[in-house]
Structure 1
């Protein structure tokens, strides 16, 4: 009996293999084909069945194994030839992950579609460094913005966000860091704390802390690059406060 062609878009979380949902694991175990991205922790593939086909379709800046159109066509083709296709994407597929586009294409071409949300790197990566995106007295809201639009330009929302008092989280923005920093300088926010976290929640994690005035030097000194998340806001200071308290506790324990 031929299987019902189906696509399930699954969020793999930000990198730590334990930050994936039980529903995502269950879905991986049911997959006939898994198409996975470059930012997915490959250890998660241990959940799939032995006869499941694994296809790497990862995309990084300047390196594309498959173009998006090819990925869309591959999803449909494997759906009809194999049955249940799982599209495993880093973070949450609906937060700058093109999950919605792939579902629309699959549905138009006759596949049943479903979605399993993931823990977004925009939330989890700062949290792993004890940086809350909201905090009473510091930030009442937050923006999550892509650093690079479809036209490869800096999103105009960054300029609007720079005028607000909200925490600003920018994904895929390292190539536009100078432009981003200049927008905040124009708003007189030179001393605003900034954190840049590379490979967040993984053993390769690196972090640089500075201000709008100093962060570009911090990035250079610490050799920070993509994939990284940029966090701008007074909440960045919360991390240092916790570190100071911990250090005081350790000193007391030694004494």
Structure 2
């Protein structure tokens, strides 16, 4: 596959001492980071004037849709990663597009567009720098080909641009787009992972219908209420660890999506 030489060259030139650093940097694109950071932003961002509640809800919708996009595209193309002889770390699943790079593009690109701290240009430059670092680490660790990370940046950018445009005047549209992508992910993958992200999109769009008239409560919630996130994240993360049946994973995702969006408006 095109780009194999790039993976070989980068992975083969990385000193062993730098591998731990690359592991840390590549974690900036880990889906688990987004699953925690996006809800935290929604629950605490309005209180500390980092982002208004409705914008934070858009971040939630766009990010969960971005996670679904990764599952859908990987299942659609079903292209393999570089061989184990190239990889410096273990990575499973399909390789195209790079999930870390796609997710990083969606998450940091959305933050750059919607946060209210700093200058917009500075935010976009910072987001691009983080995405570039994540993309480089995926190549340097030998877990992706060059086309994988390029496709991740392109797919993530197009998705963010579309989701931001359609949700500009209606937050629910961010969740609606996510639901569409989540449905595709479920149909194409039919796995616990696909079912979980699909359920999260369902729960998110339903939760927003109950929460949208009470977003002022999010800004007024006490900081300790963020502790209520722990059980929700545990429920949503469990299917990814034990891989239950598709209906069970979807139900867990629904609880996660609904709870993250609705609970802080009642605390």
When normalised by structure 1's length, the TM-score is: 0.28
* Higher relative contact order structure (alpha carbons within 8 Å, sequence separation ≥ 6): 2
When normalised by structure 2's length, the TM-score is: 0.27
Larger Rg: 1
